[in-house]
Amino acid sequence: MEKLVLIIGGNLGDRIKLIHETVLMLNQIFGFPLLSSSIFESSPWGGNSSGKYLNQVLVYNTDVNPKKVLELIQHIENSLGRKRDVKWGDRTMDIDIIYYGKKVMSSKTLTIPHPYISERKFVLEPLQEILPDFIHPVIKKSHIQLNGECLDKSEVKKYQKSPG
């Protein structure tokens, strides 16, 4: 079993309802999360979307291989109305694999760990909340260190505490 770390979120529709629906669907596949961060609200990142995002980090134990995980989470995104028209554009739901244990891999369709972790405050804040001392397997720094060094100065604030 590996620790699968996902970030979920979006900026379209009933954002909080979509977060809850996504968690329920993920729980049907992976069981209940070992850890779940608070839900954070942040400004768009990447320049191609408008409206604030809600995001949450979840940690599951799984033996589902990473490529199958990607297939399953893309199915959830699509079922919740995800459109892939514009890179980093508005979306109902986005689910990204942040880590799969300490695995390091890169293919045309999947890179683990996620390549933008250290550049995104909206990822680092929830990671620091629930996995502060986890060491990034490539950068070799903790989430506390990465968050402190992050050049992204966008506002990220707690929207709702984790129910767990």
Domain ranges of the chain: 2-160
Q: What is the pLDDT of residue 44?
A: 79
Q: What is the pLDDT of residue 91?
A: 80
3-class DSSP state of 152: coil
Q: Does 5 score more than 80 pLDDT? A: yes
Residue 7 region, left (φ>0) first, then alpha (ψ -120 to 50), else beta?
A: beta
Q: Does 80 score more than 60 pLDDT? A: yes
- Tens-digit pLDDT profile for residues 111-163: 999 999 999 999 999 999 999 999 999 999 999 999 999 999 888 999 888 76
Rounded Cα distance between 80 and 18, Å, is: 8
Residue 160 pairs with which residues in a beta bridge? 39
Q: Does 85 score more than 90 pLDDT? A: no
Q: Does 72 score more than 90 pLDDT? A: yes
Asked if residue 3 lies in contact with residue 60, where contact means CB atoms within 8 angstroms, the answer is: yes
Check: pTM over 0.85? Answer yes or no.
yes
Which residue has 């990204």 as its token pair?
A: 96
Q: Kind and range of the H or E element at 111?
A: strand 111-112
Q: What is the pLDDT of residue 43?
A: 85
Tell the CATH superfamily of the 2-160 domain.
7,8-Dihydro-6-hydroxymethylpterin-pyrophosphokinase HPPK (3.30.70.560)
